[in-house]
Amino acid sequence: MKKHIAATLLSLALTPAYANPELPDLDIFINEMVQEHDFDRAELETLFAQVEVKDSILKAISRPAEKSKPWYEYRQIFLDQARINAGIAYWKKHEKALARAEAELGVPAEIILAILGVETRFGGNMGSFRVVDALSTLAFRYPPRSPFFRSELKNFLILTREEEMSQLEPVGSYAGAMGLGQFMPSSFREYAVDFDGDGHRDIWTNPTDAIGSIANYLRRHGWQPGETMVHPTQYQGSDLPQDLIDRGLKPSVTREELRKSGLSTADLPEGDDAITVFSLTQPGGEELWLGRQNFYAITRYNHSRMYAMAVIQLSEAIRDGYESSK
């Protein structure tokens, strides 16, 4: 009997303890955090024992992308009057922080506001998933992008330690994007700023920090203060200059190439900077635009020409409404 008990105890001692059996390879991840980032193993095991794997997250990220909407339908999602009015009100409420961000970082208030409006409706929809649940689910249960989300989970744990935050309380999108500006953890650590000087970077409940962080993100991605973003153009002939459009979002087309292609540069300010050429679908056909560095900087927030144009046009509507309300 004693031998049997002893054998059972030995068996239990040799059996690895799993912080959460729903998260494959979690033990390897915890080892990495302990060895590479000096985390406490017991604390991590306690944390991950409380993590919940969410099937809704796996379904959301695995869902086939919906058929892309044409521009004239896409823009209607974001350029609604309620969102414009909310942007005007947000500007009036946070005038000082917006003015300071523009003065110090060179990013216009209306661009910051438009990103806040497109991303979360000025905080009205910041997501409902615990960030640690979202990132853990995708890091350990979604193999196609596991390396990316494991890296983001590492960054999240590090930032909560840096900011002395709870690891269980922060909420965000199903992909782990966080706060008013929907920063991923790696972007938070790289670009978020303590804009009000209280010793913490809080993009969830502190609009001043969120405003400064968005402006800093754009400036660090090449925003050029005082420069324009986009200009309409016309083309000759029936065929789009597809070879120039296919160059992508990063400005790489020279002014000489524009002229040789037959694209009008009449609305483009003089200069020798490279340009990106892109089209937007309107009911009557394709509409051609020329984008400069500031347009490209916005696409670093979301790698989409339609996203960037929604931000630009929403910013114009918010500015017009703000100025007319004075």
State the pLDDT at residue 8. 40
State the pLDDT at residue 240. 87
Rounded to an integer, what distance in angstroms lies between the CA atom of residue 295 and that of residue 52? 39
Rounded to an integer, what distance in angstroms lies between the CA atom of residue 186 and that of residue 21? 27
Q: E strands, the chain, where?
A: 129-130, 171-172, 230-233, 276-282, 285-291
What is the separation of C-alpha 40 from the centre of its chain, rounded to a whole number of angstroms?
30
Contact, 114 vs 312, CB < 8 A?
Answer: yes
Beta carbons within 8 Å of 318's beta carbon, 6+ residues apart: 84, 87, 88, 91, 110, 113, 114, 117
What are the tokens at 172?
């965000």
Dihedral over Cα of 9, 15, 16, 22: its sign: negative
Domains of the chain: 26-64+126-209 (1.10.8.350)
Place of tokens 């635009």: 289
Q: Which of 102, 110, 119, 152 is catalytic?
A: 119
- For the stretch 111-157, pLDDT in tens is 999 999 999 999 999 999 999 999 999 999 999 999 999 999 999 99
Is pLDDT at 108 greater than 50 in this prediction? yes
Q: How confident is the prediction for the chain on average, in pLDDT? A: 93
- For the stretch 210-220, pLDDT in tens is 999 999 999 99
**43 catalytic residue (yes or no):** no
Q: pTM of the predicted model, to two decimals?
A: 0.91
**In residues, how long is the chain?**
326
SS3 string of 103-137? Answer: HHHCCCHHHHHHHHHHHHCCCCCCCCEEHHHHHHH
